[in-house]
Amino acid sequence: MWPTDPEKISSCLEKGQSETDCRNYVKVLLPYNNQLFVCGTHAFSPKCSWREVRKRTTIQRVQES
């Protein structure tokens, strides 16, 4: 589960996007050694993070675009 901030969703909806389009969809999933690089759409405000392969819910580092 990687929810989008409610403020980002509101902003996305105000810009005329649909509720479905304003959700978070994973667009990039790349393995590297014991880590995963994951990027999501986050209501048209992309966000990426590095996660442990064995503990995908553990975020090691967040990168915002």
In a domain, 46, yes or no: yes
What is the pTM (predicted TM-score) of this model? 0.72
Position 55 pLDDT exceeds 80: no
Position 60 pLDDT exceeds 80: no
Are 4 and 20 within 8 A, CB to CB? no
Give the range of the structural domain holding residue 51, as residue numbers without chain letter.
6-64
In a domain, 36, yes or no: yes
In a domain, 12, yes or no: yes
Q: What pLDDT, in 10s, does the model give residues 27-51?
A: 999 999 888 899 999 999 999 988 8
Quote the CA–CA distance of 22 and 14 in Å, as a whole number. Answer: 10
Give the N- to C-terminal CA distance of the chain in Å, as an integer.
Answer: 20
Please give the tally of structural domains in the chain.
Answer: 1
In a domain, 1, yes or no: no
